[in-house]
């Protein structure tokens, strides 16, 4: 069977440093091919070459046996290859329907017709998205749905999904995988990048694993299990390192002083009379499904959102009532929020690591000098790159050029230079590879061991159960349950989160 896409000895180098090197890859018609590897392994680069986003430095690509070279994504799209990006490429100021038809508009368009057609199309995919809604008003999950719908809409014979499920709820994920199976039945070939190894093992036909820009193995999915995948990805078994056995009472940290007391805070329908406390020297895990209000709750605490003006509840920091209207006073009071949406809120993408870290100092008012010292900035960068093991191709690399794991470390570093007393991590390992997960977990544990109050908000249960000294469960804008990791099970947590 002729592969629909074949890559032969493909190499792509940035600034002389190869992101991928001599990679051979083939995609068969009608197969779901999972592409796995740590962040920085070269998965995105390889797929971007397929989709015409970047051109290879060396090697060649065959499409149905014919050598091709795509200079632009639209050329790849014309050849039937579409890519759904991790960071959506939709136009926020346009409606969902307009985004779906972008690039394939007629000379004269009737808006009503576009909406009706988009509505029918979205319904056929089981995506509950309003075609008349402006994309900028949609949440991450719905934007992802529009992005997927757009790829399907172009009748692509190859669709590349880059982390398609990272922001979907379990229900939406089921819809997505059902859609993927339907596409496969129609003969569409799918390349599927995911950090959720279980998804790759459950839904793909073949798996290719990359490490440090080189292909380690390609084989049928049936020949892999979770451990063998991780071993191939990182060169050692990390499974037990990341998700250890359940901890006993003695292994849990004892709570220190109550540092933050939140009582009945409310914000519209998103956060409703939620109450909890945070203690020094402990990791408080907060679990909740998307839409449960967990992120909004902690954004209120850190001054990013404002609680209701009337009867909005109380927040006390070490017994002192606080009501932040902007994040700056919260940062000055030692509260740092590490965002879940690093690409939009976490860093300045065209600035270097050093500049980003230094911006954290400026935000906290810790650098009051009239002029910025480049030398100090570099020293700061060297210090935190060492502490957090941030790896970049060059010292002056822009943050956008880093892998997801390293970007996340920059965001964490930017918060930690502010010398916080309470650190709130929102989805700290979303879109981060297993190697970086282990490092980030290790770092979060070290912060709590140093006596800081740490909050980890996550929708990934093993992460919550492994990191937390106490687990809070959020549902419909409220903390409904507190569990101790020693007696918490995934079923108990999920029951509280759903019911």
275 interacts with other proteins by CB under 8 A: yes
341 interacts with other proteins by CB under 8 A: no
Please tell me whether residue 408 adopts helix, strand or coil conformation: helix
Q: Smaller CB distance to other proteins: residue 130 or 314?
A: 314
- Measured distance CA(393)–CA(379) in Å, rounded: 18
Question: Which element (helix H / strand E) includes 115?
Answer: helix 111-124
314 interacts with other proteins by CB under 8 A: yes
Residue with tokens 């229900």: 171
Asked if 255 and 448 count as a contact pair (C-beta separation under 8 A), the reply is no
484 interacts with other proteins by CB under 8 A: yes
Strand partners, 158: 81, 189
496 interacts with other proteins by CB under 8 A: yes
Indicate which single residue of 8, 117, 261, 389 sits in contact with other proteins (rule: CB under 8 A).
261
322 interacts with other proteins by CB under 8 A: yes
Indicate which single residue of 312, 359, 391, 460 sits in contact with other proteins (rule: CB under 8 A).
312
Closest CA to 350 of 398, 315, 418, 308: 398
- Shortest Cβ distance from residue 418 to other proteins (Å)? 21
Where does this chain touch other proteins (CB under 8 A) — which range of 172-180, 257-265, 410-418, 454-462? 257-265
Indicate which single residue of 8, 132, 239, 277 sits in contact with other proteins (rule: CB under 8 A).
277
Please tell me whether residue 1 adopts helix, strand or coil conformation: coil
- Measured distance CA(363)–CA(474) in Å, rounded: 30
Q: Smaller CB distance to other proteins: residue 130 or 308?
A: 308
- Shortest Cβ distance from residue 191 to other proteins (Å)? 41
- Shortest Cβ distance from residue 498 to other proteins (Å)? 9
224 interacts with other proteins by CB under 8 A: no
Q: For residue 396, count CB atoms less than 10 angstroms from its CB and return exposed for 0-12, middle for 13-18, buried for 19 or more.
A: middle
- Shortest Cβ distance from residue 92 to other proteins (Å)? 34
Where does this chain touch other proteins (CB under 8 A) — which range of 55-63, 106-114, 268-276, 334-342? 268-276
Q: Smaller CB distance to other proteins: residue 255 or 421?
A: 255
Q: What is the DSSP string of 88-145?
A: ----TTSBHHHHHTTT---SS--HHHHHHHHHHHHHHTT----TTSBGGGS-HHHHHH
Indicate which single residue of 28, 173, 175, 258 sits in contact with other proteins (rule: CB under 8 A).
258
Q: Smaller CB distance to other proteins: residue 195 or 470?
A: 470
Indicate which single residue of 112, 174, 246, 311 sits in contact with other proteins (rule: CB under 8 A).
311
Question: Which element (helix H / strand E) includes 206?
Answer: strand 206-211
Where does this chain touch other proteins (CB under 8 A) — which range of 16-24, 354-362, 428-436, 480-488? 480-488
Closest CA to 243 of 437, 41, 404, 409: 437
Asked if 290 and 139 count as a contact pair (C-beta separation under 8 A), the reply is yes
- Measured distance CA(357)–CA(94) in Å, rounded: 34
267 interacts with other proteins by CB under 8 A: no
- Distance in Å from the first CA to the final CA of the chain: 50
Strand-pair category, 158-162 with 81-84: parallel
Q: Total number of residues binding other proteins (CB under 8 A)?
A: 28
- Shortest Cβ distance from residue 70 to other proteins (Å)? 52
- Measured distance CA(338)–CA(427) in Å, rounded: 9
279 interacts with other proteins by CB under 8 A: yes
249 interacts with other proteins by CB under 8 A: no
Indicate which single residue of 211, 294, 358, 470 sits in contact with other proteins (rule: CB under 8 A).
470
- Shortest Cβ distance from residue 363 to other proteins (Å)? 21
DSSP label at 167? T
- Shortest Cβ distance from residue 185 to other proteins (Å)? 35
Where does this chain touch other proteins (CB under 8 A) — which range of 35-43, 77-85, 140-148, 475-483? 475-483
Query: Cα angle vertex 432, ends 360, 287, to 5°?
Result: 85
- Measured distance CA(199)–CA(180) in Å, rounded: 12
Q: What is the dihedral of CA 95, 101, 104, 109, to 10 degrees?
A: -70
- Measured distance CA(244)–CA(128) in Å, rounded: 38
499 interacts with other proteins by CB under 8 A: yes
Indicate which single residue of 109, 273, 373, 394 sits in contact with other proteins (rule: CB under 8 A).
273
Strand partners, 306: none
321 interacts with other proteins by CB under 8 A: yes
Indicate which single residue of 93, 124, 263, 489 sits in contact with other proteins (rule: CB under 8 A).
263
313 interacts with other proteins by CB under 8 A: yes
Contacts by 109-113, CB closer than 8 A, 24 or more apart: none
Q: Which residues bind other proteins (CB under 8 A)?
A: 255, 258, 261-264, 273, 275-277, 279, 309-314, 321-323, 470, 479-482, 484, 496, 499
């Amino acid at each position: 069977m002729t592969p629909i896409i074949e890559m032969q000895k493909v190499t792509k180098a940035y600034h002389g440093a190869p992101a991928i090197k001599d990679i051979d890859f083939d995609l068969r018609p009608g197969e779901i091919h999972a592409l796995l590897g740590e962040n920085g392994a070269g998965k995105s680069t390889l797929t971007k070459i397929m989709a015409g986003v970047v051109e290879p430095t060396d090697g060649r690509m065959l499409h149905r046996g014919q050598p091709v070279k795509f200079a632009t994504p639209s050329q790849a799209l014309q050849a039937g290859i579409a890519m759904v990006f991790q960071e959506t490429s939709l136009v926020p100021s346009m409606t969902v329907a307009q985004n779906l038809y972008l690039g394939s508009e007629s000379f004269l368009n009737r808006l009503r017709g576009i909406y009706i057609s988009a509505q029918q199309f979205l319904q056929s995919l089981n995506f509950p998205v309003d075609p008349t809604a402006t994309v900028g008003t949609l949440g991450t999950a719905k934007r992802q749905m529009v992005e997927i719908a757009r790829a399907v809409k172009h009748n692509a014979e190859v669709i590349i999904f880059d982390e398609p499920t990272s922001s979907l709820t379990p229900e939406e994920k089921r819809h997505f995988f059902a859609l993927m199976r339907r596409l496969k039945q129609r003969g569409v070939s799918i390349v599927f990048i995911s950090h959720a190894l279980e998804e790759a093992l459950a839904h793909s036909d073949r798996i290719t694993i990359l490490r440090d820009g080189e292909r380690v193995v390609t084989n049928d999915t049936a020949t892999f299990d979770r451990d063998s995948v991780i071993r191939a990805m990182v060169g050692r078994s990390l499974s037990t390192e990341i998700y250890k056995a359940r901890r006993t009472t003695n292994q849990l940290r004892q709570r220190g002083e109550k540092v933050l007391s939140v009582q009945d805070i409310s914000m519209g329908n998103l956060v409703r009379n939620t109450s909890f406390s945070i203690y020094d020297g402990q990791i408080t895990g907060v679990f909740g499904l998307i839409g449960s209000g967990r992120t909004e709750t902690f954004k209120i605490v850190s001054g990013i959102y404002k609680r209701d003006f009337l009867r909005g509840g109380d927040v006390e920091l070490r017994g002192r009532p606080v009501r932040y209207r902007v994040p700056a006073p919260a940062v000055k009071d030692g509260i740092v929020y590490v965002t879940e949406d690093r690409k939009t809120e976490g860093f300045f993408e065209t600035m270097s690591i050093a500049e980003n870290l230094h911006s954290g100092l400026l935000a906290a008012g810790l650098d009051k000098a009239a002029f910025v010292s480049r030398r100090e900035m570099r020293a700061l960068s060297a210090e935190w790159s060492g502490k957090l093991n941030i790896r970049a191709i060059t010292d002056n690399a822009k943050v956008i050029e880093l892998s997801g794991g390293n970007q996340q470390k920059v965001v964490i570093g930017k918060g930690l230079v502010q010398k916080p007393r309470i650190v709130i991590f929102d989805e700290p390992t979303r879109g981060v590879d297993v190697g970086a997960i282990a490092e980030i977990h290790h770092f979060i544990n070290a912060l709590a061991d140093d006596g800081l109050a740490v909050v980890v908000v996550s929708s990934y249960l093993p992460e919550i159960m492994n990191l937390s000294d106490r687990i809070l469960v959020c549902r419909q804008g409220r903390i409904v349950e507190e569990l101790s990791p020693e007696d918490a099970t995934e079923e108990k947590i999920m029951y509280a989160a759903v019911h």
